[in-house]
């Protein structure tokens, strides 16, 4: 029995270590995909506006929490952005993820980091608000990442 364990144990150790390494590769790839998506999202918010970027990167069932209330679904987001004309030319939002993680299944991930929201009022006074964001990302059927919570 002792010889059997001595022969089998190295096999299981090798098998497990090889199996773990193979799981890390796609996870790192998926993390990179999410970080790139965040960068593209932030760039679009700067170039085309906050509303357009938040609608483009939202999943159909996305949820935004703003001012202690939930905006649920892409249509509700669209309505909210159409009503809120303050999200226009004199507003900018910039952010960068400080951390990213993804499920081993490759279908969900999340990021968090710092954001800067800058507004300019009608007399040119600039107001800067800094904070922390948290975004949950879900891989869509086409392989792209869309946020489901922000």
pLDDT for 74-85, tens place per residue?
999 999 999 876
Residue 9 is predicted with a pLDDT of 43
Widest Cα–Cα separation across the chain? 85
Whether 5 is covered by a domain: the verdict is no
- Tell me which residue range forms the domain holding 142: 29-149
pLDDT for 4-46, tens place per residue?
445 454 544 444 445 544 567 899 999 999 999 999 999 999 9
How many domains is the chain built from?
Answer: 1
Whether 138 is covered by a domain: the verdict is yes
Closest Cα partner for 109 from 100, 117, 96, 99?
100
Residue 110 is predicted with a pLDDT of 98
Q: Which two tokens stand for residue 126?
A: 């600039």
Whether 11 is covered by a domain: the verdict is no
Whether 22 is covered by a domain: the verdict is no
Binned at pLDDT 50, 70 and 90, residue 114 comes out as very high
Q: What's the pTM?
A: 0.81
Residues 6+ apart with CB under 8 A from 53: 41, 42, 44, 45
**CATH code of 98's domain:** 3.10.450.50
The overall average pLDDT reported for the chain is: 87
d(CA 87, CA 72): 19
């Amino acid at each position: 029995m002792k010889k059997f364990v001595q022969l089998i144990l190295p096999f299981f150790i090798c098998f497990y270590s090889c199996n773990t390494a193979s799981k890390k590769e796609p996870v790192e790839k998926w993390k990179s995909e999410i970080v790139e998506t965040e960068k593209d999202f932030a760039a679009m918010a700067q170039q085309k506006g906050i509303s357009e970027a938040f609608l483009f990167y939202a999943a159909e069932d996305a949820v935004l929490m703003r001012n202690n209330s939930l905006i649920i679904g892409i249509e509700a987001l669209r309505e909210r952005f159409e009503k809120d004309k303050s999200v226009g030319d004199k507003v900018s939002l910039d952010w960068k993820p400080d951390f990213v993680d993804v499920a081993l299944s490759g279908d969900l991930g999340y990021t968090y980091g710092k954001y800067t929201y800058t507004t300019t009022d009608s007399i040119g006074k600039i107001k800067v608000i800094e904070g922390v964001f948290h975004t949950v990302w879900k891989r869509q059927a086409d392989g792209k990442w869309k946020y489901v919570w922000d």
